[in-house]
Amino acid sequence: MKTYLRPTAFVDAPFGLDGKVARLAGGMLWFSAVEWIRVDAGSRVSAELVAVEHVAARLRDAPETRGAWDRLTSPRPPLTLGERVVRLDQPQVVGIVNVTPDSFSDGAKSADADSASEAGGRQAASGAAIVDVGGESTRPGAKPVWEGDEIGRIEPVIARLARGGAAVSIDTRKAAVMRAALAAGVGMVNDVSALSFDAEAAKVVAEAGCPVALMHHQGTPETMQKEPAYGDVLIEVFDWLEARIAAAEAAGIARERIVVDPGIGFGKTLQHNLLLLNGLSLLHGLGCAIMVGASRKRMIGALSNEASVNERLGGSVALALKAAEQGVQLHRVHDVAETVQALKVWRGLRDMALTPGA
C-alpha cells in the first residue's frame, strides 16, 4: 500500500489562517487541504480530502507519509545554469527553439543557425528565463537523427545565444550531443527520455553538475502515439518519474538539480493529457521543480475544432495558466512574449492577494 498526497483547495492568501494552510513548494500558492490517496497494486483503494489543520495528526498515525508531506512543502532551490540563476519561487518561461527541418510547430522556420539564433535571442529579450535548443524532432512519428548532424545543428546556435548572455538548455537524448552542447555554453540538459535512451547520459550530466529535466514518455517518438495505455495515468507517471529520479541520484545527480516533466503528448491520449493537467499538483510530492510543455500540442486542436498548429495560442496560454495555478515552476512554450505577459498578469494578481492589508 502506498500513499500519495495531492495539494488542493488553494486559497488566495494565508493571512489569518495559521495552521490551516500550507505553502506549496516555497512558491506563491497556499493550499488548505490534500487529497489523501491510497494505492494498492496500481489501483486506488481510497481517496479523501484531509484539511491541512488535520495533517499533523494523520502524519503521526501514518509516519511513512512524512517524507511526501515534507517534499510538498519544502522550497525548491534556484537552478544554476552557468552564471545565470533561475528562481523557482515563481513561474518562469522556457522558450523553445527547434533547429530542425521537421518540427511539428514551425516546420523549417528555425532550421538554420542564423534564424534559430535570432529566434532564441528574441525569446530571451521577451522574458524567457531559459532558451531550450533542440536539433532532433521528437514529434509523433519522428525518425532518429544521427548525433553528428544533431551537433552540427545546435552547436553554433548555443554558442551565439550563450555569448549573448542567455541561459540555454539542450533538448537531446544523446550523451555526445550533451557534451558538445555543454562545451558550447549550455547550462542545463532537457532529456525527453529521462536519461534512459543513452547509457552515458547520466554520467555526462553528473560530471557537468548541471540541472537536468527528466520527462515521462511511453514508447519512442516513432511509436508513442500508437494506442498508449495506462491504468491510472497520474499515479503511473508519478511512479515512473520517481524511479527515474532515483536512477539519476544513484548516478550522482543531486535531487535539487532535477526537474520533472509529465510529458504531455508523449505516449498519451487526449484523456490522459487532461487527467495529468488536472492533477499536476500531485507531482510536487516528488520534491523537484516541475516543467510542463503543452504549448501548441495536438490536444488543443482536439478541443477547439481541429485548430491548426499556428492557431493554438489561446489554448497554449490557457494550459500554462492551468499549470501555474497548480504551482508549476517552468513553462516550456513556443509563444514566449504572450505567455510571459499572461504570467505577469497572473503574478500581479497573486502579489496583490499576498499583500497584507491591501
Positions annotated as catalytic residues are: 297, 332
What is the spatial distance between Cα 275 and Cα 331, in angstroms, rounded to a whole number? Answer: 18
Distance of CA 107 to the CA centre of its chain: 23
| Amino acid at position 265, single letter | G
What is the spatial distance between Cα 158 and Cα 263, in angstroms, rounded to a whole number? Answer: 24
What is the spatial distance between Cα 77 and Cα 343, in angstroms, rounded to a whole number? Answer: 20
Backbone angles phi and psi of 338, in degrees to 5:
-70, -40
What is the spatial distance between Cα 173 and Cα 136, in angstroms, rounded to a whole number? Answer: 9
- Which of 317, 261, 265 shows the shortest CA–CA distance to 291? 261
DSSP per position, 101-141: TTBTTTBTTT-SHHHHHHHHHHHHHTT-SEEEEESS--STT
Tell me the C-alpha to C-alpha distance, in Å, between residue 188 and each of 164, 206, 234, 252, 316. 17, 11, 26, 16, 24
Distance of CA 194 to the CA centre of its chain: 12
How would you class 167 by CB atoms within 10 Å of its CB: exposed for 0-12, middle for 13-18, buried for 19 or more?
buried
What is the spatial distance between Cα 339 and Cα 333, in angstroms, rounded to a whole number? Answer: 8
The Cβ-side half-sphere exposure at 201, using a 13 Å CA radius, reads 26
- Which of 279, 196, 294, 192 shows the shortest CA–CA distance to 232? 279
